[in-house]
Amino acid sequence: MFRASATLGLRRAAWGLAQLAFPFVVVAIAWEAFAILGPFPPRLFPRLDVIGSTFVRLIATGILPLHALDTILRLAAGFALGGVVGVVVGMLMGRHRWAEDLLVPVVSVGNPIPGLAYAPLFVLWFGLGNLPAVLLVGFSATFPVIVNTWTGVKAVKDIWIRAAQVMGAADRQLFRKVVLPGALPYVLTGLRLGLARAWRVLIAVEMLTSVSVGLGWLIFGAREFMNTDVMLAGIAVIGIVGLALEKLVFERIEQFTVVRWGMMQR
């Protein structure tokens, strides 16, 4: 009886895995077919086994982890900057009429502009290397954080405020114990969008600001020698890191807070 249910569980897990893998298998087959039958020479359109072995070699020699680490550190610094500024500004806008009047037009205009458009300016202002990259990442990430935090504060239910006031909550307590947790679902959404933007602009900006190490630079630099396999290995890492941030960081945080509180369905 127990054995039977165990094998059943195993079978179900295997089936789930197969379903997950299926789209990737389709893409892989299409890739291989194109590599063999398509118009590109192997140097420009390498087969999967070449990409795979390059990927393994770059990881084993420590090159890929080195570049990835630098990029992730830059991302962390820029995102932390943008996240903190975004939450603070968004909260100010949500809580104070003057801040709202002042900043809504600015943010509305700034939000839809791709961060990369500012890259040349940032290079002129801050030179090459890490500083402009981090600042631009922070700058790009901050807009969705501001907009969503502001919306979140506005969406805090009036009845929560009133209930807290009845129980003697002063302004500061109201803010910390009602407005902050009440706005959290929106703040998290903002941070998630901000991180996605940060990740995108960072890879691009690494190609422009001549940082010496980083995934963007690795991909850009590989062009010189037509190392398409290196480029693709780098791209794979970008995908993997992005997915990991989403699944391991954000989904965990959400699971632990707003989902557990029934404020967000998943």
Residues binding another protein (CB under 8 A) = 157, 159-160, 162-170, 173, 177-178, 181-182, 184, 257, 260-263
Nearer to another protein, 163 or 244 (CB): 163
- Closest approach of Cβ 170 to another protein, in Å? 8
Structure tokens at 175: 């803010």
C-alpha span between 193 and 250 (Å, rounded): 11
Nearer to another protein, 23 or 168 (CB): 168
Which SS3 state, helix, strand or coil, does residue 18 take? Answer: helix
Shortest reach from residue 161's CB to another protein, in Å: 11
The three-state secondary structure class of 221 is helix
| Axis-axis angle for helices 180-208, 119-126 (nearest 10) | 80
- Contact between 100 and 149 under an 8 Å Cβ cutoff? The reply is no
Nearest-approach distance from CB 169 to another protein, in angstroms: 5
**Nearer of residues 210 and 257 to another protein, judged by Cβ:** 257
- Give CA–CA dist 230/51, Å, rounded: 7
Amino acid at the residue 90: G
Quote the least distance from Cβ 154 to another protein, whole Å: 16
Nearer to another protein, 184 or 238 (CB): 184
How far are the Cα atoms of 151, 181, 255 from residue 261, in angstroms, in the given order? Answer: 19, 10, 9
CB of 50 or CB of 169, closer to another protein:
169
Q: How far apart are CA 88 and CA 94, in angstroms?
A: 10
Give the nearest distance from C-beta 64 to another protein in angstroms.
41
Other residues' Cβ atoms within 10 Å of the Cβ of residue 192:
20
Query: Per residue, what are the HEC states of 106-153?
Result: HHHHHCCCCHHHHHHHHHHHHCCCHHHHHHHHHHHHHHHHHHHHHHHH
CB of 127 to another protein, least distance (A): 45
Residue 131 or 264: the one with the smaller Cβ distance to another protein is 264
Nearest to 118 by CA among 107, 103, 133, 102: 133
Smaller CB distance to another protein: residue 135 or 183?
A: 183
CB 256 to another protein: min, Å: 11
